[in-house]
Amino acid sequence: MTPLRKYRLVRFIKYSSIVLLIFFTVSTLISLLPLEIFPIDVKRVSALGFSFLRTIGWIPSIIMFVIFWLLFTKLDQHLAGYKGEALGQKELKKLKKHGYKVFANMKLKHNNDQSEMDFIVIGSNGIFIVEVKNIKGTITGNVEDEHLTQIKKTKYNTYENKFYNPIKQVNTHVYKLSKYLKDNNVNHWIEGYVYFPKKHSNIQVKSNESIYSKKGTHSLLNHIRSYQSKEQISSINQERITELIGKYAVKI
């Protein structure tokens, strides 16, 4: 499943859970009050809801309420990440018209090791791993730091949040993918990038050659297209790399 479809599915389930939570809550509250105080349409809806709750039983109703609540809170925690991947897919998909091949959700299993990568881009000028972080605000720090800092300004306050430097995560992905390709007789340099898809992301990381955003001097698409590798990848090798990566990833 592509990141965009996953995001849409999770968003649909989340909002369906909200509707069901409201239905259970309102039906329960209304069932505790005299129906005479409500208009006829509300009476019908409440009667339907109360009839449903009474039919399945109160204990199963409570269990279903808890399940929908847990489902809503769990999905809400992951939705931002899924949205970031969906935005990443929309942006990287634009490279296809320039001859690049784009893969998503690569779950590489090799030599008893596993690694999950957001996106892989393959072109004549290189192989690119892209890790997406759906974080907005100003991103500061140094590429060698263990953590980077997110600075968010609101009308009244300024917030700072430290998060693990995703460049280190990408470097691990680069090593594992390179090892996998070399073990299959494919030896090409791999670039690893971090992409912040929020249009208001402001990248201010020192010594930065790996963190990119949607626009400006740190535009990811512009960098990939203009990247000059020491060795061009032939069409035959591109097909071989596509075949190897396609075993563990979804083509978009």
pLDDT in tens, 57-66: 556 666 666 7
Distance (Å, rounded) from C-alpha 25 to C-alpha 28? Answer: 5
pLDDT value at 15 more than 80: no
pLDDT of residue 31: 59
pLDDT in tens, 18-34: 777 777 676 666 656 55
pLDDT of residue 101: 96
| Neighbour-count burial of 156, counting CB atoms closer than 10 A to its CB (0-12 exposed, 13-18 middle, 19+ buried) | exposed
Helices of type H across the chain: 3-31, 40-56, 58-92, 166-182, 220-226, 235-246
pLDDT value at 177 more than 80: yes
Distance (Å, rounded) from C-alpha 90 to C-alpha 12? Answer: 19
| Neighbour-count burial of 154, counting CB atoms closer than 10 A to its CB (0-12 exposed, 13-18 middle, 19+ buried) | exposed
pTM for the full model? 0.76
Mean pLDDT of 107-114: 87
pLDDT value at 6 more than 90: no
**Mean pLDDT value across the chain:** 81
pLDDT in tens, 134-159: 888 888 888 888 999 998 887 788 88
pLDDT value at 51 more than 70: no
Percent of the chain surpassing pLDDT 70: 75
